Structure 1
Amino acid sequence: MRITVFRRLMADEFGPGRAEVLAKDHVFSALGGRTVEQALAAGIPAKEIWREVCVAFDVPAERR
């Protein structure tokens, strides 16, 4: 998954403003105690990050 696709999915699911805040501030234990931005910078694939975001925020399966 491209990072641009990942960011579009985040914005579609949470709204552009909340998606940006979530990516910078929310720490995910499943991503090694990193935020989305830190996980991307560490080279974790966007698809893996999206899966963890979906699990953490109970995104319905049809939107995953």
Structure 2
Amino acid sequence: MRHSELWERMERHLGPGYAAVWADTHVMRLLGGRTAREALDAGETPKTVWRAVHATLELPATER
């Protein structure tokens, strides 16, 4: 997964205006107590971050 695909998916589920805010502020246990942005900046792959976002938002399996 590319960074652009991660952001497209997040915008689809959270809205284009809120996805970046959520990525900067929502701390996820699945990312070691980091936000999506912090995890990406620390070198986590977009796929790993998406899996954490997917689980946190409790999205359907079809969106994985």
Q: Structure 2-normalised TM-score?
A: 0.93
| Structure 2 counterpart of 1:3 | 3
Task: Quote how far apart the aligned CAs of 1:61 are.
Answer: 1.1
Structure 2 Cα separation of the partners of residues 43 and 5 of structure 1: 16
Give deviations 1:21-49, integer Å, cap 9, x for gaps. 11000001110111011000000010011
* Counterpart code for 2:48: E
* Counterpart code for 1:30: L
Structure 1 Cα separation of the partners of residues 18 and 9 of structure 2: 12
Q: Structure 1-normalised TM-score?
A: 0.93
Structure 1 stretches of at least 4 aligned residues deviating more than 2 Å after TM superposition: none
Question: Aligned pair count?
Answer: 64
Task: Quote how far apart the aligned CAs of 1:57 are.
Answer: 0.9
| Structure 2 counterpart of 1:24 | 24
Q: Give 5+ residue unaligned stretches, structure 1.
A: none
Q: Give 5+ residue unaligned stretches, structure 2.
A: none
